[in-house]
């Protein structure tokens, strides 16, 4: 029997991301209340739509949604002067009763050509606004306001929206400890309060037993912020252990993990943006499958970068002259790769990783297992070539022909 390597996304697969969903809603309410707009404009369906469109980061969902609301506000009640910032918008709206009707799902769909397939969707929207080609998106918003909304979405220091969101996500105490900046307000950690385990503990123990028997191995790979690779000792500043918090619900020992912080550490050495390495790029999946086998995270990242660089036609530089940790020798030449995802971009990343390894002399049999109950996400997963299941338990049972 060939070894099976399993990659599990965290949110929507191993963990129900109640904390992120609650933090997204609270962040939108934080800003909508300050501009006098009803909170029900932003529904629970909005994050689901974004994920179906390949936008998995709340750091993109929030500024895009807020920009569309502000566009509707300035279109329905044109201000007497150009509003240059979020604070300017709030000062102008103070005391006003702003009653707008906006179908956010429809408006997101109309704006989606600006960001579909982009590494950082918020920056792609900004580029579309600044390009001057054709009809300008968000025509009622000033350039300086658009820049504030979309320019620094990955920076807690540079984005008011991201700062509010992370204050809710981590809670005020952890927010201040992680980022070493003053909390915006008192808050409990939404992740600790609202996240829930999705993978059945009995099934996880069975996966561990199969791992001990040498039949399979597994790792988590996620866009959740995380600490740097476990082998690296560095200051925690800016590295938020959100992926680790999620995985603690699954196993206090923690499975191997390739999260945002692991990639951010590598990206810093490469002098590139972290999001260029995230799924749907294959590097994250390559590193995760190597970490699943070797349980080494930083060496797996370096090996994955080397594989990726050799097939990138000079677009990416390798940091490793040779595979000093023998990652390639620890991988069987023939194995099956199973990706359990609730987003199509994770499926795409796994498939691209398998294709690269097949070009590199491996024999990888790729299997895509989609987890979704919402129609839009199900269709996106089907379009990506995944078999779709309502929960991770049924997907795992089907993947290995196990009985419950």
Question: Which of these three, 166, 192, 218, is where a domain ends?
Answer: 192
pLDDT of residue 402: 93
Residue 27 placed within a domain: yes
Residue 66 placed within a domain: yes
Q: Does one domain contain both 106 and 173?
A: yes
Other beta carbons within 10 Å of 210: 17
Query: What residue numbers bound the domain in which 25 lies?
Result: 18-192
Strand partners, 339: 7, 368
Distance, in Å, from the CA atom of 67 to the CA atom of 149, rounded to the nearest integer, reads 7
Residue 355 placed within a domain: yes
Query: Can you say how many angstroms the Cα of residue 382 is from the centroid of all Cα atoms in its chain?
Result: 20
Q: Does one domain contain both 321 and 342?
A: yes
Q: Which of 18-32, 41-55, 284-298, 389-403 is predicted least confidently?
A: 41-55
Q: Half-sphere exposure (CA, 13 Å, Cβ side) for 163?
A: 17
| pLDDT range class, residue 315, cuts 50, 70, 90 | low
Of residues 342, 334, 347, 333, the one with CA closest to residue 376: 342
Q: Which of 127-131, 179-183, 236-240, 263-267 is predicted least confidently?
A: 236-240
Strand partners, 4: 216, 336
Question: Which of these three, 161, 192, 223, is where a domain ends?
Answer: 192
Residue 42 placed within a domain: yes
Q: Does one domain contain both 175 and 78?
A: yes
What is the arithmetic mean of pLDDT over 143-151?
Answer: 97
Residue given tokens 């105490």 in the structure block: 173
Q: Half-sphere exposure (CA, 13 Å, Cβ side) for 298?
A: 12
Q: Does one domain contain both 142 and 223?
A: no
Q: How far is CA 214 from CA 12, 54, 396, in A?
A: 27, 34, 17
pLDDT of residue 324: 61
Q: Does one domain contain both 256 and 393?
A: yes
| pLDDT range class, residue 38, cuts 50, 70, 90 | confident
Question: Which of these three, 139, 166, 192, is where a domain ends?
Answer: 192
The DSSP secondary-structure symbol of 301 reads: H
pLDDT of residue 251: 93
Q: Does one domain contain both 130 and 246?
A: no
Q: What angle do CA 273, 279, 285 make, to 5 degrees?
A: 110
Residue 224 placed within a domain: yes
Residue 94 placed within a domain: yes
Please name the residues in contact with 115: beta carbons below 8 A apart, sequence gap of 6 or more. 53, 55, 60, 64, 121, 122, 124, 125
pLDDT of residue 320: 56
Q: Write out pLDDT tens, residues 41-93.
A: 888 899 999 999 999 999 999 999 999 999 999 998 889 889 999 999 999 98
CATH number of the domain encompassing residue 255: 3.40.50.1000
Of residues 331, 276, 337, 335, the one with CA closest to residue 308: 276
CB distance 53 to 91 below 8 Å? no
Q: In the predicted model, is pLDDT for residue 102 greater than 70?
A: yes
| Between 95 and 74, the higher pLDDT residue | 74
| pLDDT range class, residue 12, cuts 50, 70, 90 | very high
Q: Does one domain contain both 187 and 50?
A: yes
Look at the pTM and tell me if it is higher than 0.85.
yes
Other beta carbons within 10 Å of 20: 26
pLDDT of residue 323: 63
Q: In the predicted model, is pLDDT for residue 178 greater than 60?
A: yes
The whole-chain average pLDDT of the chain stands at 92
Share of the chain above pLDDT 70, in %: 96
What is the arithmetic mean of pLDDT over 91-100?
Answer: 81
């Amino acid at each position: 029997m060939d070894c099976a390597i399993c990659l599990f996304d965290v949110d929507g697969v191993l963990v129900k991301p109640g904390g992120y969903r609650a933090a997204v809603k609270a962040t939108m309410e934080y800003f909508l209340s300050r501009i006098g707009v009803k909170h029900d404009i932003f529904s629970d369906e909005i994050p689901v739509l974004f994920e179906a469109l390949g936008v998995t980061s709340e750091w993109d969902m929030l500024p895009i949604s807020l920009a569309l609301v502000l566009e509707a506000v300035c279109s329905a009640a044109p201000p007497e002067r150009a509003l240059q910032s979020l604070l300017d918008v709030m000062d102008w709206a103070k005391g006003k009763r702003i009653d707008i009707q906006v179908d956010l799902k429809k408006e997101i769909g109309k704006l989606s050509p600006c960001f579909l397939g982009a590494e950082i969707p918020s920056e792609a929207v900004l580029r579309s606004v600044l390009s001057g080609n054709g009809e300008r998106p968000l025509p009622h918003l000033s350039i300086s306001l658009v820049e504030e909304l979309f320019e620094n979405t990955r920076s807690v220091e540079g984005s008011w929206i991201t700062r509010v969101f992370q204050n809710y996500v981590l809670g005020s105490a952890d927010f201040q400890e992680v980022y070493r900046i003053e909390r915006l307000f008192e808050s409990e950690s939404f992740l600790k309060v609202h996240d829930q385990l999705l993978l059945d503990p009995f099934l996880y123990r069975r996966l561990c037993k199969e791992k001990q028997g040498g039949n399979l191995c597994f790792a988590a790979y996620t866009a959740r912020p995380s600490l740097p690779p476990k082998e690296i000792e560095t200051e925690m500043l800016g590295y938020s252990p959100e992926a680790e918090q999620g995985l603690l619900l699954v196993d206090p020992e923690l499975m191997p993990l390739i999260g945002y912080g692991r990639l951010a550490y590598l990206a810093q050495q490469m002098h590139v943006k972290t999001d260029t390495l995230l799924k749907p790029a294959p590097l994250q999946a390559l590193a995760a499958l190597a970490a699943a086998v070797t349980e080494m995270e930083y060496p797996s990242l370096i090996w994955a970068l080397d594989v990726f660089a050799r097939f990138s036609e000079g677009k990416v530089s390798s940091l490793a002259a040779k595979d000093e940790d023998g990652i390639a020798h620890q991988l069987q030449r023939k194995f099956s790769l199973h990706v359990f995802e609730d987003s199509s971009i994770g499926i795409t990343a796994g498939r691209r990783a398998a294709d690269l390894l097949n070009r590199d002399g491996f024999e990888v049999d790729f299997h895509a297992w989609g987890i979704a109950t919402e129609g839009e996400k199900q269709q996106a997963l089907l379009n990506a070539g995944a078999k779709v299941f309502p929960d991770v338990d049924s997907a795992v049972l089907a993947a290995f022909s196990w009985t419950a």
